[in-house]
Amino acid sequence: MAEHHFHLKADWPGLRNDIGTIDAGNLKTEVSIPPEMDGPGIGTNPDEMLLGAAATCYIITLAAMMERSKLEKEALTMGSVGIVDVTNGVITYKKIIHKPQIVLKSDATEKDQELAHKLAEKAEISCMISRAIKGNVEIELDAIVTK
């Protein structure tokens, strides 16, 4: 078993609505509470970072699975939505919806299109971040495959 350690340094000099910083190698940014939660909205925030982690993990996993299956594509793009519920002051990250768009080569067969849909679903349950948040945050998939 090989373990990989990722390190992050955080600095929060002020109170709730102030601005902090994080430094995790290539990820260096200011952070604050988003305006939707009555914060200053400077830099990024935990809600965007969780969505970003889930989306990038998913799309990279899907691309790797397509490559291993020798399923060629013209394009792979995705929109993702994070849904956060605030009820009686309790904040709950409820759901992430991934909407990948897979454009296959023009000579793709119906079998290729079926495989693309199957891989889109398999990538969601195989992604490390999806597995990490399973049981806490629902993940919904709305994949579109065209050629």
Give the tens place of pLDDT for each residue, 98-132. Answer: 999 999 999 999 999 999 999 999 999 999 999 99
Same fold, 1-44 and 46-146: no
Q: How is the chain split into domains, by residue range?
A: 1-44, 46-146
Estimate to the nearest angstrom the gap between the alpha carbon of 91 and the chain centroid: 19
The token pair at 33 is: 């509470």
Q: What is the DSSP code string of 71-106?
A: --EEEEEEEEEEEEEEETTEEEEEEEEEEEEEEE-T
Query: What pLDDT, on the 0 to 100 scale, is given for residue 89?
Result: 84
Query: What pLDDT, on the 0 to 100 scale, is given for residue 1?
Result: 85
Q: In the beta sheet, which residues pair with residue 25?
A: none
Domain 46-146: give its CATH code.
3.30.300.20
Residue scoring higher pLDDT (119 or 38)? 119
Give the tens place of pLDDT for each residue, 62-106. Answer: 999 999 999 999 999 999 999 999 899 899 999 999 999 999 999
What contacts 109, CB < 8 A, 6 or more positions away? none
Instruction: Output the pTM of the full model.
Output: 0.93
The token pair at 71 is: 């399923």
Query: What pLDDT, on the 0 to 100 scale, is given for residue 147?
Result: 94
State yes or no: pLDDT of 29 exceeds 90. yes
Helix axes 46-68, 110-126, angle to 10 degrees: 140
Domain 1-44: give its CATH code.
2.20.25
Give the tens place of pLDDT for each residue, 46-56. Answer: 999 999 999 99
